[in-house]
């Protein structure tokens, strides 16, 4: 079984649950922009980005369409911006935990095979996506959280730097820094989850 057949369905689900969580929490916080565009859905097709999907298939890493959010509709701007921003990574963490549980159950009941590999990648893929989005550089989710946590006097300076967020992120990716930022914590948390899931096996 090819690596793509194992990773693509799982990573597609990770992206879907991530974007669904953003849309659902935004709706709960008073912003129905994503709801009206059909993004409060677990249907992967409504979240797919054409270029991101091709990259996922041929490069091994991709992205979904960003969920449209109008923060002016939030009931509490600062609190709700943080909640919506953290919704996607929280969904990925919960998803990673569920995949770890599934991996442990499969190890108890069946010989190692295709489903075990998918479950293992489900842990790694969701954690990787979570830590990637926690990087505090626009347009990633972590940037919203950092901005809202900054003292008022520091926010204008951050907005100035944020204009170049995409270029900074691209530079970090090409220099390999993001690999360290993502995979170091991913492997640490994954070892904990696998260790707990395999207790008694």
User: Of the residues 19, 37, 111, 153, which is catalytic?
Assistant: 19
Rounded distance between C-alpha atoms, residue 93 and residue 189, angstroms = 10
Ramachandran angles phi, psi of 87, nearest 5° = -60, -45
> Using CA atoms, how far apart are residues 29 and 137, in angstroms rounded to an integer?
24
User: Across-strand partners of 48?
Assistant: 64
CA dihedral sign, ordered 198, 181, 19, 55: negative
How far is 114 from 102, CA to CA, in rounded Å?
13
Alpha helices for 29-176 (secondary structure H):
33-36, 50-58, 77-109, 114-133, 141-149, 155-162, 165-175
Strand partners, 25: none
Do you know the residue count of the chain? 201
111 is catalytic: no
* Residue 191 tokens, joined: 């070892």
Residues serving a catalytic function are: 19
């Amino acid at each position: 079984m090819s690596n793509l057949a194992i990773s693509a369905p799982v990573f597609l689900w990770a992206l879907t649950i991530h974007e669904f969580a953003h849309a659902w929490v935004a709706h709960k916080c008073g912003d129905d922009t994503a709801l009206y565009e059909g993004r409060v859905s677990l249907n992967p097709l409504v979240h797919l980005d054409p270029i991101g999907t091709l990259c996922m298939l041929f490069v091994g890493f991709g992205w979904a369409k960003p969920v449209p959010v109008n923060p002016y509709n939030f009931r509490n701007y600062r609190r709700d911006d943080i909640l919506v921003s953290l919704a996607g990574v929280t969904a990925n963490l919960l998803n990673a935990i569920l995949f770890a549980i599934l991996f442990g159950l499969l190890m108890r009941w069946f010989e190692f095979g295709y489903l075990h590999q998918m479950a293992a990648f489900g842990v790694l893929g969701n954690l990787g996506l979570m830590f990637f989005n926690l990087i505090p550089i626009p347009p990633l989710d972590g940037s919203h959280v950092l901005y809202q946590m900054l003292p008022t006097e520091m926010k204008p300076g951050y907005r100035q730097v944020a204009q170049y967020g995409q270029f900074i992120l691209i530079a970090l990716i090409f220099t390999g820094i993001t690999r360290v930022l993502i995979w170091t914590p991913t492997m640490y948390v994954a070892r904990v989850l696998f260790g707990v899931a395999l207790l008694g096996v």
